[in-house]
Structure 1
Amino acid sequence: MPEPDGPRHGVTGDGAAMRLLVLGDSSAAGVGVAHQRDALTGQLVARLSERSRVNWQLVAVSGATTGWALKRLRAADLGQFDLSVISLGVNDVKNGVPQAIWARNTREILRTLVERHGLRRIYHSAFPPVGRFPLLPEPLRRILGQRTERFDAALREIVQGQPEARFLSLEMDHLDERHMAEDGFHPGAAIYESWAERVERALASEPLGEIETPRAAS
């Protein structure tokens, strides 16, 4: 499915400054809706900008793996950020990337975000419950679901090893054909809304505080 129309960076809202990076794969890119305002980034920025001046950037592409994301972070001068939301790993699972390589890449992504891009808080989204996706045929759904569960358990441990990172559980109560995209694999607008709300609640429970001047990259 195509990635949605709409901007991938901007400055929105009033209040304390916040620099946001959304990093990841097709779900981070918003595949499943027609416009970015209905995707994860658009809905999250709309929520955060009610209290903050959000300088935001979306770095995501369909098919992205942890290997792609790590190369992108190392090659691009993205600047400094305070808050990041990550959606990565499903394509590693789908493409047969060994778990050890995925884990190494994930640790390095978290480290690079902190040391090079100044991240104060990183929310790494949990793996989606692929084993419950309604339109995936069997036995593919079962096989991918089992592998996803193993990666998800490992992700929890990896995130615990990075002080700035948090594991973001996804409360996906809308896993039916009405709320998912046509392909039965990507989120629809209701799921993106729930995802953005989950980030907002997590941030509210552990605020960053008022952001001062950007920190220099290490």
Structure 2
Amino acid sequence: MREVLIKILLAPLLLLQGLYVRRITPKLPEPSGERSGVSGNGPHMRLLVLGDSAAAGVGVPEQAQALTGQLVANLAQDYRVSWKLLAQSGLDTAQVMARVESTATEPFDAVLVSVGVNDVTGGLSAQDWAIAMHRLLDLLLWKYGARHVLLAPVPPMHLFPALPQPLRWYLGRRAKQFNLALAQLARSRMDCRLQQSNLSVRDGMLAADGFHPGASVYTQWADDSAATLRSFFTDPVSLGGRVVAAPPAA
């Protein structure tokens, strides 16, 4: 009820501010560079990075500076990493699922998922997003046999300088609700884990648009993710033998 009341009272202003932000915020390109490859030596790890603009690396010019490039470089110190990046700016969770469904079936040991910002800005409720994420996780298990899924939390949108008040407060509030729903989902399943990070978004650490990560944020994100992925492979947790026999309903 409170959420509905807030939307009713602030709707005209939030709409105007949203349109204003879309008009003045520079649209940064996705970084150049390879989106698949094999790196390193050691035990074999098959890794997929999946999601939206942050997963795609928007905010830096080269994939080597982005999440995937830095994550693979970190893991390649100890593993032979066969990796793939499947991400695109502007995708919400339903669109990410559609992209997964359209790809060829292949095995991945681990999948890092970064999605949710476009669902926050698109008006989807946290409850409906959690349902969509549950379906995405089932799809990843069925399509790729993903043994481990690492879920990136929705970033702290209340700290994004590109967003004026009260839009920043409102989207930040929704992002926190989404993360509470994501944490509950992660606790209810054995095949995923919510990444625990305190990513810095201080002045100068975001990209020029004031919305996407800069190289130093990607470094911290990649380091935290690499540590969690290593824990999966050095101290594996049983997935309980769960098998999905058919793709989940959309």
TM-score where L is the length of structure 2: 0.80
- SS of the residue corresponding to residue 224 of structure 2 reads helix
Give the Å deviation of 1:99.
2.8
State yes or no: 1:92 paired with 2:112. no
Amino acid at match of 2:64: R
What pairs up with 1:137-156 in 2 under 5 angstroms?
A: 137-156=164-183
Give every structure 1 segment of 4 or more consecutive aligned residues whose post-TM-superposition deviation is greater than 6 Å. none
Aligned mate of 2:97, from 70, 83, 86: 70
Deviation per residue, 1:113-162 (Å, 9 max, x gap): 11221111111011111101223211110010001111110000111222
Give the Å deviation of 1:7.
0.6
State yes or no: 1:107 paired with 2:107. no
Aligned partner of 2:226 in structure 1 is 200
Q: Which has the higher contact order (CA 8 A, sep 6+)?
A: 1
Aligned mate of 1:25, from 52, 57, 62: 52
Aligned partner of 2:82 in structure 1 is 55
- Listed as ranges, the gaps of 5+ residues in structure 2 are 1-27, 237-242, 246-250
Check conservation: 2:126, 2:174, Cα contact below 8 A.
Answer: no
Amino acid at match of 1:145: G
Aligned partner of 1:179 in structure 2 is 205
CA RMSD of the aligned region, Å?
1.8
**Judging changes above 3 Å, is the alpha-carbon distance between structure 1 residues 98 and 217 closer, same or farther for their aligned structure 2 residues?**
closer
Aligned mate of 1:2, from 10, 15, 29: 29
Count of aligned pairs? 212
TM-score where L is the length of structure 1: 0.92
| Greater percentage in helix | 2
- Listed as ranges, the gaps of 5+ residues in structure 1 are 211-215
Amino acid at match of 1:61: Q
State yes or no: 1:168 paired with 2:195. yes
Highest Rg: 1 or 2? 2
Structure 2: distance between partners of 1:135 and 1:74: 33
